[in-house]
Structure 1
């Protein structure tokens, strides 16, 4: 009795272990698929709101008028602590202003045109960045999955000494686990540099909260701002006394005059309407991987220097390069297309890796019918659920409940295939019982 109980306990533990492994693979697959989709983040925003005003550039005076119009529209509400102006770029040729309470598009004259409505693109970004979880937990989990991809890539190369020699050996015509393994190994080799670059930068971005918090606790008395100041600069001391609206026009004119080789794409107003207010302009440097350099200005538009992301320490430049390298925000459309193709290949590698694991289980005599069905449900369910949320955006508008729609669709896809597999197993078992009974009847007669 005790032996049977122990054996049953071990069997259940193995099943739980397999299910847990499948959940980890599922989240890893989800991260790869959403990462592929988010490469077109700007294009998705334009698709969501086709009627938003677009322009290739906007005059500094119009930017200032837009800032004043937005702040005036909030005069009766709480004071915003930050105001962000997205300037027109090649990928997103729109001027958008975001505050603590709203986000609006403005036209080329600086007039408020319409509220920004890109909830689906933001949902997709949050799904990839943090799995729709709170930032600390979600980004840490995604960062750990980035580290997992690094480990899988390195261990995969070590475990297959002939992996590079067989880089173009593909027995794809075979409809068995050999073809699955060939697709897995070939795609893994072809995408290895991409996988390492994406996973390393993803781990760095995802573990930002943990590493930054640890650094702050260890060397800066828990002050996160002080810990990050050597990389991203420090904040001037605040002063909440009332003051006039800051003037962004001279700052933008200064950038055009003194730094014509860079491309400003963001204006940030810190604590607007207070005596401690100041401005920053983020400008992209062509043919550089850094996401940009911070140019600091006071409220009157007088220049106060740069942070050093473009020409500072190696650590600063490396930190500023992780975002573009991870998301493919450099090189225009050709680079985005390459990232999409490599992202699809990486998703296939993760999917086939789990199928290979299931094949090995079955060769050892461990039935994996329900696990295989669950994995097929997830592999097909994730892209189908993303399409369903996009359909909901088009049908229900910007307020559609994307998060529950996505997760419910994924769970239903898995459950439906598992139920179908269970019914197939039951039918097969009934056939076997019937056949066995028939044989015994013949023998008895």
Structure 2
């Protein structure tokens, strides 16, 4: 393909996605530090106790949650030991199929089974940033639209790589022509910063696109692997009484001893069947801690039904999430992600500036030519 065609592709893919990419970069900045912001906002934590304090039975934890919200059902229990040690987060709603935004979270001390807090639904600054970044308050269509913008961004990066050498072949790498007009200076800055951050921008853009497919990936998993694992229970009546939650989790731990519990989906919830507790286990290394392995436990007998590794498409999604937000390497990596995000904002802004200046230059040149033609006539 000719340089002219590559330039056309780069210009229009960049222009179409720039406004949305700027929005994603700006809203992504606070999301990088969401853990630190949560702590500063005064999230209730478990009180200090001796390290060897045993955990309470999860049946007692569930009982405490039901007493706190007697009209609701428990859909999930999950644990974030790095962010909220010794706290069990219980997600509840009026019904199992209630929308995610209707969920209420009860924080319970994992050692004493006492309720620590029931924070109100988050509708503040971080919630707005998250919704804008994920779906622009438009649900699945918004997610897929932003995913398409991510693909256009990737095409803009690749076409920019192709164009960099021909446009800069007469200049040394990193040259900024300060003595020339402002447009050329910003062109050099745009090219230099774009090349310096292209690998990071490509990774973040592609992983962001993958993340927008999360709902579709979950649906495929439910229709594929989950349906196969629960097939023997398909025509059985829904159980009216359930066995011990603690015993069910102990069963999963015994079946997969080299992993620990990440969260539990209760019978009838989104990630389970009416007959099972689905215990999602995760590993202990930086990579395996991002991967989940579901263990299905019969909710009546507390016996293991099935346990399988997630399929490749779910693993791809799970691994793309920490790469996108840079939250797998602690605070130093978050700072690096922030700096690269800020540089990308400069690249996007300078590209928009160059397009506007080029249009003004073209219009001015056309006006001069028209005046010259009129004078000759």
- Shorter-chain TM range is 0.7 to 0.9
Which residue number corresponds to residue 267 of structure 1? 264
The two structures have a TM-score, normalised by structure 2, of: 0.73
Task: Tell me which of 62, 66, 90 is aligned to 2:61.
Answer: 66
Q: Distance between the aligned counterparts of 1:241 and 1:282, measured in 2?
A: 25
Equivalence for 1:106: 108
Q: Give the 3 Å change call, closer, same or farther, for CA 260–131 of structure 1 in structure 2.
A: same
Give the direction of change, closer, same or farther, for the CA distance of 1:155–1:228 in structure 2 (3 Å limit): farther
2:144/2:213 contact within 8 Å kept: yes
Aligned CA-pair RMSD? 3.8
Distance 1:234 1:119 in 2: 36
CA spacing shift, 1:43–1:209, aligned 2, 3 Å: same
Look up the match of 2:346: 348
Q: Deviations over 1:246-272 (max 9, x none)?
A: 4135525863x6656534332222338
Deviation at 1:354, TM superposition (A): 0.7
1:157 maps to 161
| Pairwise CA distance, 1:240 | 3.3
User: For residues 242 and 281 of structure 1, what CA distance do their matches in structure 2 show?
Assistant: 24
**Structure 1 residues 166 and 204, CA gap change in structure 2 (3 angstroms):** farther
1:36 aligned to 2:36? no
Distance (Å, rounded) in 1 between the aligned partners of 2:364 and 2:216: 39
* Unaligned runs of at least 5 residues, structure 1: 1-20, 217-223, 368-445
Give the 3-state SS of the residue equivalent to 1:85 in structure 2: strand
Residues 179 and 125 of structure 1: CA distance in aligned 2, closer, same or farther (over 3 Å): same
Deviation, structure 1 residue 102: 1.8
For 1:308, what is the secondary structure of its paired residue?
coil
In the alignment of these two chains, the number of paired residues is 330
Q: Which stretch shows the higher mean deviation, 326-335 or 123-132?
A: 326-335
Q: CA deviation at 1:90?
A: 1.5
Cα pair 1:64 1:110 within 8 Å, conserved = no
Partner of 2:193: 187
In structure 2, runs of 5+ residues without a counterpart are 1-13, 94-102, 366-377
Corresponding position of 2:211: 205
Contact 2:294–2:309 at 8 Å: present in 1 too? no
For residue 307 of structure 1, report the CA deviation from its aligned partner: 3.0
Change (3 A) 1:57 1:103: farther
Match of 1:83 among 70, 75, 98: 75
2:94 matched to 1:96?
A: no
- Which residue pairs with 1:287 in the alignment? 286
How far 1:308 moved relative to its partner?
0.9
Normalized per residue, which structure has more helix?
1
Task: Give runs of aligned pairs for residues 17-416 of structure 1, distance below 5 A.
Answer: 24-53=17-46, 59-75=54-70, 77=71, 80=73, 83-93=75-85, 94-100=87-93, 101-107=103-109, 108-117=111-120, 118-120=122-124, 121-133=126-138, 135-161=139-165, 167-171=173-177, 176-208=182-214, 225-227=222-224, 229=226, 237=234, 239-244=237-242, 246-248=244-246, 251-252=249-250, 255=253, 261-271=258-268, 276-288=275-287, 291-296=290-295, 297-299=297-299, 301-309=302-310, 314-365=312-363
Q: Name the CA shift for 1:57/1:301 in 2 (closer, same or farther; >3 Å).
A: farther
Deviation at 1:30, TM superposition (A): 0.2
The answer to which structure, 1 or 2, has the higher relative contact order (CA under 8 A, 6+ apart) is 2
Helix, strand or coil: the match of 1:104? Answer: strand
CA offset at residue 147 of structure 1? 0.6
- 1:423-442 equivalences in 2 (<5 Å): none
CA–CA distance in structure 2, aligned partners of residues 149 and 160 of structure 1 = 16
Q: Please give the per-residue CA displacement for 1:232-289, whole angstroms capped at 9, x wherever unaligned.
A: 976864743421364135525863x6656534332222338x9724232332441316
1:366 & 1:31 partners in 2: Cα distance?
34
2:243–2:302 CA contact under 8 A, matched in 1: no
C-alpha distance in 2, partners of 1:290/1:174?
A: 52
User: d(CA) in 2 for partners of 1:233 and 1:183?
Assistant: 55
Deviation at 1:67, TM superposition (A): 1.6
SS in 2 for 1:364: helix
**Helix, strand or coil at the partner of 1:99:** strand
User: 2: distance between equivalents of 1:88 and 1:314?
Assistant: 25
Distance 1:211 1:243, change over 3 A: closer
Which stretch of the first structure deviates more once superposed, 282-291 or 348-357?
A: 282-291
